[in-house]
Amino acid sequence: MKIYEVEEARKTILKRKALHRMEYSPILVQKTEEYFGEGITPPQAVAIILQSVEEQGDQGIRKWSQVLDGYDGTEFVIPKEELKRAWKQMDREIQAAIEAAAGRIRTFHQMQPAASWTTNELGGILGQRITPIESVGVYVPGGTAPLPSSLLMSVIPAQVAGVSKIYTATPPQPEAAILAAAYYCGVEAVYQIGGAQAIAALAFGTESIPKVDKIVGAGNLFVTLAKQQLFGVVGLDGLAGPTETLVIADRFANPVWVATDLLAQAEHDVQASAILLTTDSDLAGQVSEEVQLQLSILSRRDTITASIQNAGGIVLVDSLEQAAELANDYAPEHLCLSVNDPEGLMSKINNAGGFFLGEHSFEVLGDYIAGPSHVMPTGGTARFASPLNVLDFVKISSVIGLEQAGAAALSKTAAILAELENLTAHAAAARARLETK
C-alpha cells in the first residue's frame, strides 16, 4: 500500500466526492451506452428504468431484468417452498451461524429505546406517539458477493420495530444462502428483481409487486441512483456509496491484524476504501508489507488490488489528535481504533457510522454478528446520518390534547404571533377561542 503524508492524503484518498460529481469508469460508461444508447449517462439510464416500471409495471420489470440481468423468467416471487427447501438444505453449521447472528442482532435492537410518551407538565396532554411503518422493502445485493448478512441486518430491526409487511428484493436466481436467511427471518415475500427496476417496483408498485412505504438496503450504483431520484416518492434509509474503513493505529497495534482488517474491507468492491492513519512509520511499513504478503493467498485479490490502488492507502500523522481531526473530517462508515486507549480517542471524534474499540472489536465482527446493523452511512454522511436501526422503521407523531382552560391561555399568544406573520385567519381561529365562554 502506498504511504502518504497528510497533505497529499487530504487531496487524494481523504478527499470526498459528491455523488452527482462521481466519475464513472470507462467500462461502466461503455456498458450503459450499450444498453441505453449513445450519450446516455448512468443517471439518465436510471430515469429511463424508473419511468418504464412506473408506466408499464410488470412488463417494464421483465424488460430490464432480461436486458440487464439476462433473466427471462416471468415470475418474480420466489415460492415459499423454495425458501424452506434452501433452509433445510443448509449445512447445520451454517444454520447455527445464521441463528446466532440473528439472535444477537435482535437482542441488540430490542434494547434500543423507542417508546411513546406523554406529559401533563405543559397543560393538557402533550407527547409523541411512535407507530411502526406498515410496509418495508429490503434490497439485498447479489453479484459476486451475495450478502445474506445484509438481509438479517435490515429485516430484523424492522421486525423489532413492529413492521407488519416486510418484502425482500434481490437480483434474479439468488444464492441459496439469501433464500435460507429470508426463510429463517420469515419475510412476507422474496422477489427476484435487481437494480433500479427493483427499487422502482417497490416504490411504485406493479401488478405483482406491492407498493411499500419505505425502502432500505445498499446496492450498486444503479440502486443508489434510483433511490436518489425517488426521494420524496417513498421513504429511504440513505444513499449508500462504496463501503469504507478508516483504521487509526499507534505503535502498539499488531501489523498483521491491521493488514487483515484493511484487506477484509478492500475485498468488497473495487471502489471500496481501506485507509490506515498511523503515528508510527515502522508500523506503516510493516502493514504495507503484510498487505502484499497476505494478498497473494486471497480469492478476491484482483478486487482488493484495484480497491487499494483506487482508494486505499496509509497516512502518516503527527499525533493521534491529528488522526482524530482527519477522521472527524472524513466521517467514515467504519472507524477502527487500534490504539492503546480507544475510548479516550473516541471521545475526540464525533463523526463515524460505527466505532470499533480496540483490536478485538474488529470490523468483520460488526459485519456479521456483534449486534448493530452493518448498514451504515457512507460517503461522509456519518456527519448527519446513523446506522440502520429501529427508529428507521417507525414514525413519530406529535400528540396535542389541550384542555379548554389551557388552550385559552395560549390562544392570545398564538394570535399575536399569527398577526406578526400576517396570517389573519390563523389569528382569528385563535381569538375565537378567547371569545368562547
Residues involved in catalysis: 333-334
Q: What is the DSSP string of 412-437?
A: HHHHHHHHHTT-HHHHHHHHHHHH--
Alpha-carbon torsion, ordered 268, 273, 276, 281, to 10 deg: 110
Q: Which residues have C-beta within 8 Å of that of residue 216, sequence separation ≥ 6?
A: 136, 137, 138, 139, 154, 158, 236, 237, 375, 388, 392
Query: Which residue, 224, 370, 352, is CA-closest to 277?
Result: 352
Q: Is the dihedral of CA 169, 174, 176, 178 positive or negative?
A: negative
Q: What angle do CA 213, 331, 161 make, to 5 degrees?
A: 30
Q: Which residue has the cell 399569527?
A: 418
CA 251, 257, 262, 265 torsion: positive or negative? negative
What's the CA gap between 273 and 12, in Å, rounded? 12
Pairing of strands 273-278, 214-216: unpaired
